[in-house]
Structure 1
């Protein structure tokens, strides 16, 4: 009986290990290699893909937004100066949203680079420093607002007591606090059905999953993993990608399933781009990397 139990236990372990291996190896395309496509920047951040698969990212110290053209793998300056933009995301009308850190604002930028400032303060107090954004199915905008002291600011303290996640109602400039009780909220990404929002609290080394309510509030906070993150993305299998020490991938249950090492001191952010949304686009220190994947992004699939 004991031998039989040990036999079946071994089979179960073997199946589990092989299943994990299969899931891990299926994420990255066969024989794919990490490619450094540029290393000429100071600190790259905030990658966001448009509907054609081009990726826009920021070089915050140099006050630029750069465009990567997915058709020919070329790079060009999209906007300079850029309001010291940090995180980026496209709205449903193809306009680029930017967490404009210089004056602690949220910008909406059209294809010609014209800026419409959406938010400049909260309850007549300057925002801490909008960092990252995500747009829900209705067009509402969630953004994180940590506080990182900048050399180009006149102030040295925050006007707001808390570091929150905010929500801008669709087609308006009305903003309210969607989630609080965070140390330093940073990366943010939602599921394609709009029902779950992940928020990384890098100051507390935790990432949470929230339920998104009909009015935009975030409820039912659950600990997703005991790892914070600078930036985040999600693939079509529901896996969550966190950054910092390379890129660490978790399944929807919060289990670590893969790690992509990056030979840089810090990996800031990550998204999917390319015409088929199957190229992982990684910003790390002064560099940009790409990796061909078997999974895809979800930004333009709903």
Structure 2
């Protein structure tokens, strides 16, 4: 993860400005709300995803942990250790956790009892680069990005695959379908709740694209959305897209920037909505998890 962080910092040399959120246009942010530190002290937080209850699960990949923020008790505990170096997380339609576990280049399902089932671990007999982030459509099909970031816990020093792709795993399928193979280094990914549009960040080329999703899960109509890459991303119920890196930058459906949420950290990795009624934005940045009360809501469990 440190190798990934250093690369991202090299690609995006941002100067961070910490200013009160109320000094900006706060139409999407709850009145008077300020960024709150939920918990810190980790090595590198990533992959936040909320379950149906609004509890937020996130990862500390260097320490091979999945953490859980409990919305009722406002507390954080270790959900699981030894999670295959999980990075990106997402709950499927049955409220079961799916993880990009790049220790063995796998996509896995993790039950509430912490049983792990490997969903996929290769493409045409070759090891994946390292599944990074994912989104699950209304049918249960899984889209995920597979960039290559050299990890210190790997024996290998180069990828088996020639390209860094976005893949689709159809419901019940065991084989992957590459749906985008012309990106430099895909990373953040999220789809609209109607299942018609997929956003993919090509962090290696500092761009984010939108795609039309076909009935069979394939992608078409690749369109440049913004000239900005992203580590992780999410959507709100107004269709605004949240990108990460230098804090959180929010764009409307036209690709116009409408908000920048500064975070006092060298790198902001990922973001999701959670809490009661999905009205809280949760942000993973460096060693910490932050929260921010919002006027808009998430779209995962509506």
Deviation of the 1:25 alpha carbon = 2.1
SS in 2 for 1:276: helix
C-alpha distance in 2 between matches for 1:129 and 1:40: 25
Question: Which residue is 1:255 aligned to?
Answer: 256
Question: Which residue is 1:274 aligned to?
Answer: 275
The alignment covers a number of residue pairs equal to 280
SS in 1 for 2:237: coil
- 1:26 and 2:27 are equivalent in the alignment: yes
Question: Which residue is 2:206 aligned to?
Answer: 205
C-alpha distance in 1 between matches for 2:25 and 2:165: 34
C-alpha distance in 1 between matches for 2:35 and 2:62: 25
SS in 2 for 1:203: helix
1:178-257 alignment runs, 5 A limit = 178-257=179-258
Question: Which residue is 2:80 aligned to?
Answer: 79
Deviation of the 1:33 alpha carbon = 1.0
SS in 2 for 1:200: strand
Question: Which residue is 2:62 aligned to?
Answer: 61
TM-score, normalised with respect to structure 2: 0.91
C-alpha distance in 1 between matches for 2:32 and 2:79: 33
C-alpha distance in 2 between matches for 1:251 and 1:267: 20
C-alpha distance in 1 between matches for 2:105 and 2:80: 18
Deviation of the 1:171 alpha carbon = 2.0
Instruction: Note if contact 2:190-2:199 (Cα within 8 Å) is conserved in structure 1.
Output: yes
TM-score, normalised with respect to structure 1: 0.91
- 1:40 and 2:41 are equivalent in the alignment: yes
C-alpha distance in 2 between matches for 1:189 and 1:36: 25
Deviation of the 1:162 alpha carbon = 0.5
Question: Which residue is 1:97 aligned to?
Answer: 98
Deviation of the 1:174 alpha carbon = 2.5
SS in 2 for 1:272: strand
CA offset digits 1:144-163 (Å, max 9, x no partner)? 00000000000000000010
CA offset digits 1:76-107 (Å, max 9, x no partner)? 11110110000000001111000001011000
Question: Which residue is 1:158 aligned to?
Answer: 159
1:76-155 alignment runs, 5 A limit = 76-155=77-156
Question: Which residue is 2:284 aligned to?
Answer: 283
Who wins on radius of gyration, i.e. which is larger? 1
Instruction: Note if contact 2:88-2:132 (Cα within 8 Å) is conserved in structure 1.
Output: yes
Deviation of the 1:24 alpha carbon = 4.3
Q: Which moved more, 1:173-182 or 1:27-36?
A: 173-182
Deviation of the 1:172 alpha carbon = 2.3
CA offset digits 1:124-167 (Å, max 9, x no partner)? 00000000000001000000000000000000000000100000
Question: Which residue is 1:294 aligned to?
Answer: 295
Which sections of structure 1, spanning at least 5 residues, go unmatched? Answer: 1-20
Deviation of the 1:180 alpha carbon = 1.3
Deviation of the 1:37 alpha carbon = 1.2
